[in-house]
Amino acid sequence: MNRMTTALGAAALALAIGFGAPKALAAECGRNGEGFEAWLTGFEKEAVAAGISKAAIDSSLRDVYYDRSVISHDRGQKVFRQTFEQFSARMANSFRVSKGRALLQKHAALFKRIEQKYGVPGPVIVAIWGLETDFGSYLGDFATIRALATLAYDCRRADKFRAELLDALRIVERGDLDPAQMRGAWAGEIGQTQFMPSSYLKFAVDFDGDGKRDLVHNTADVLASTANFLHGYGWKPGAGWDEGEPNFPALLEWNKAKVYSKTIALLADKIKGDTRASGIGDPVETAR
């Protein structure tokens, strides 16, 4: 959720494109589907100017249309208040603990290699995996590029999603995924731990050496890339990850909603066998 938008929040992202007049381009948006086709034609020119190949652009945008269901989800976000106790009781549940422990054992050799390289222990990675997609069992069913194009055209956060859409095309261009494989959450998150395209480009790794960084199908790539993200945000090997400990700031980079980051830490504790639950009862505001 990284770093990306997670189930509860999105990381702030900036756009930097050198095509035409940046302010004029940023102002091009719409509040309904009218004008989307003309906007998409203009965006294709921006993508070319940004150095993306015509082949990647054509294959990615060929069947894209304005998706009203994406806008409905975006408008339907609600801010709510829950205590950490309330949220974590639902999310750090017995299923995720038992399943997480089983997967930690199943992939023990892989987690050992990942920790040796990035310094991030298995329980933390498994906790994120479980909270994001129930260990890859449900990644979302929105066409990623269509969702991003819709949000890039929409006036509410056009610049942010225009940058993410360009990065999604770059993922296609470098051969990690083809457009049909890119399906996920409504806001453009991809893969088993829900990377936004910008984070995918920055942190995804080919951990099994097959020539692709595949965060949809390849377990080794998924888990190592998640560790690489935390490593990239200053994870300190051997240090604690609960609130107030050295690695909690890296979890906040994964998801800036503290209730979510604290739940990652708690679930990781439970999977490891440590049931500490610091901060229970503190009210925390979170938004999807």
CA angle 228, 197, 102 (to 5 degrees): 50
Query: Per-residue confidence at 284, pLDDT binned at 50, 70, 90?
Result: very low
Query: Per-residue confidence at 126, pLDDT binned at 50, 70, 90?
Result: very high
Count of other CB atoms within 10 angstroms of residue 216:
17
In this prediction, residue 33 carries a pLDDT of 87
Residue appearing with tokens 């679930």? 267
Q: Which residues of 269-286 are buried (b: 16+ CB within 10 A; e: fewer)?
A: bbbbeeeebebeeeebeb
In this prediction, residue 191 carries a pLDDT of 97
How far apart are alpha carbons 75 and 73 in whole angstroms? 5
In this prediction, residue 28 carries a pLDDT of 79
User: Which two structure tokens, joined as six digits, stand for 218?
Assistant: 């390849």
pLDDT at 167 over 50: yes
For the chain, give me the number of helices (H) and strands (E)? 14, 4
What are the tens digits of pLDDT across the range 222-240?
Answer: 999 999 999 999 999 999 9
How far apart are alpha carbons 177 and 196 in whole angstroms? 14
In this prediction, residue 266 carries a pLDDT of 97
**pTM of the entire structure?**
0.83
Domains in the chain and their CATH numbers? Answer: 22-75+140-191 (1.10.8.350), 79-139+202-287 (1.10.530.10)
On whether the CB atoms of residues 168 and 148 are closer than 8 A, the answer is yes
User: Which two structure tokens, joined as six digits, stand for 217?
Assistant: 């199908």
How far apart are alpha carbons 243 and 276 in whole angstroms? 11
pLDDT at 277 over 70: no
